[in-house]
A and B are shown apart, each in its own frame.
Chain A
């Protein structure tokens, strides 16, 4: 499965396809630990255990 985190492509594989796995792969968990939040492409906040679909776009800010 391919998703994007902060406009960078990230490959995930089942069953490790949650927001948390995407952030780990992208090396961005520390930003969340520091208080950053994760949003989907429509601006909705996403929980770390949320499941992702092919083509999902996430933004950490």
Chain B
């Protein structure tokens, strides 16, 4: 009886002790960023008066929160490509930065593939944190998930990337890889994590709308920390007991998710964004030194010669007449897209290059926009319509004035708008209205920039898009490479040929009626 009472007391004591211990509330902070795209320095966003972001300020905030309690720092992808600070080093600068900031995990984003698989493998091997992609098959070095134990709580992060990667990067960057459906990928890994994790969080690079859909379809996730849609989620939504978050873009916000945990279960989750603004005074930290180091290297790289111009390259008159620089650039994009012809808006060429050494920064000044090359199948009629649009505001010096390759035409500026073109030839022969030609341009014009409609109307009539020979092709879309800016295509070409001496050769001739 005594032994029985002693056992009973022990059991009651342990139960009470255990309950007290388990009832202790722990708070874990998950800090998150997404779609950083190498924006290490503060910048003034399009249409904004103020400078925002700056990774030094973000790192300062991370350190401040870390000093307050248990914290993990994660990324939802698209870190290593975008800004010069990243691109000029193929993302090495960003991985070094993330190592310095002690990231705990990162999901692959679609733009992580933009430099090709060899570079991506190198970046992953340099990372001192796990790189996750649960729905990616065929890429070694990545993991579907990672479990981090903090304060005795096991938190799993499952990585996801959009299934559209072969569409959003150039298909040759993802040979042999498969991108599986996200819902079944998460369900599979949730099953694998049973008994291995107390809390499961998805680091998702599939976009906010898809995150909400995922939360509705999969039960058992504490949070989905998103990216891809660059969404500034100020007030996180809870769907099917899953809190859905995203921290905007370019390091302009730091996401903070505070998890209140009792008995290894989340009893409360609070998410919010912390705005990141440039620090009034730059502290001397490892991160600020690293930002400065690579910024100085950016400047040095931009001063590097890439070739030589044997003549002045005219970017001043691109809104009013044919220029040799317009010819030069359109020739390059025509060769790149392997099309019959090319058209760009003169306004996309921002300055001239003087005869002599061509430095990288000269090309960046000529082509400062993040535009990429696309190739579209147009009829002769659509090409004429596009050119007529390009000539419709010559009097105003509008940026829509065309620069062309693989074609020539005459025009009368005094003729009525829409009827200014004379003698349009393509590939040396008179243009045929109903014949289809392939035409290279940039995504700005193709999407309707400067009022151009012909490209969009043509591609929208495509019935399907497929991968042919490693290139995304639709019935009307014959080329695209969204992972390489037009300026870098130009630089590659100049490096290859070393010397350039384009001429004005009568592609665009003004005539009097």
Taking beta carbons and an 8 Å cutoff, which residues of A are in contact with B?
11-16, 19-21, 24-27, 29, 32-37, 40, 42, 44-53, 55-56
Contact = CB atoms under 8 A, between A and B. Distances in A.
Main secondary structure of the interface of B (DSSP, over half): mixed
Contacts of A32: 46-47
Nearest to A41: B209
A16 B46 contact: no
A15 B208 CA distance: 18
Contacts of B462: 13
A25 B449 CA distance: 7
Nearest to A39: B232
Contacts of A29: 449
A27 B452 CA distance: 10
B456 interface: yes
Contacts of A49: 35, 37, 82, 230, 249
Contacts of B221: none
A20 B444 CA distance: 9
Nearest to A26: B448
Given A15-B167, A42-B237, A24 B449 contact: yes
Contacts of A51: 110, 162, 164, 168, 207, 228-230
Interface in B206-247: 207-210, 228-234, 237, 246
A55 B213 CA distance: 13
Given A24-B447, A42-B237, A47-B230, A13 B248 contact: no
Interface string B486-513: 0000000000000000000000000000
A18 B234 CA distance: 21
B480 interface: yes
Interface string B423-465: 0000000000000000000011011110100001001101001
A15 B472 contact: yes
A47 B447 contact: no
Nearest to A56: B209
A11 B209 contact: no
Closest 3 CB pairs of A and B: A47-B230, A50-B230, A45-B232
Nearest to B462: A13
A13 B447 CA distance: 9
B42 to A, nearest CB: 16
A14 B230 contact: no
Contact of A13 (B162, B164, B451, B460): B460
B448 A24 contact: yes
Tell which of A16, A45, A48 has the most Cβ of chain B within 10 Å: A16
A50 B443 contact: no
Given A15-B167, A16-B446, A53-B210, A47 B35 contact: yes
29 contacts: A13-B465, A14-B465, A14-B472, A15-B443, A15-B472, A15-B482, A19-B230, A20-B447, A25-B448, A26-B448, A29-B449, A32-B47, A33-B47, A34-B47, A35-B49, A44-B208, A44-B234, A45-B234, A45-B248, A46-B229, A47-B35, A47-B230, A47-B231, A47-B232, A47-B248, A48-B46, A50-B231, A50-B249, A52-B229
A24 B444 contact: yes
A27 B448 contact: yes
A56 B47 CA distance: 23
Interface string B18-60: 0000000000000000010100000000111100000000000
A35 B449 CA distance: 18
B474 A13 contact: yes
Nearest to B233: A44
Given A25-B456, A33-B47, A45-B248, A16 B232 contact: no
A40 B229 CA distance: 10
Given A29-B449, A51-B228, 17 more contacts: A13-B465, A13-B477, A14-B167, A14-B465, A19-B230, A21-B443, A24-B444, A35-B49, A44-B232, A45-B232, A47-B248, A48-B230, A50-B207, A50-B249, A51-B230, A52-B207, A53-B209
B374 interface: yes
A15 B110 CA distance: 12
Given A24-B449, A36-B47, A52-B229, A47 B472 contact: no
A40 B231 contact: yes
A51 B82 CA distance: 14
B209 A25 contact: no
B150 to A, nearest CB: 29
Nearest to B229: A50
Contacts of B250: 47
B229 A14 contact: no
Tell which of B208, B234, B446, B448 has the most Cβ of chain A within 10 Å: B448
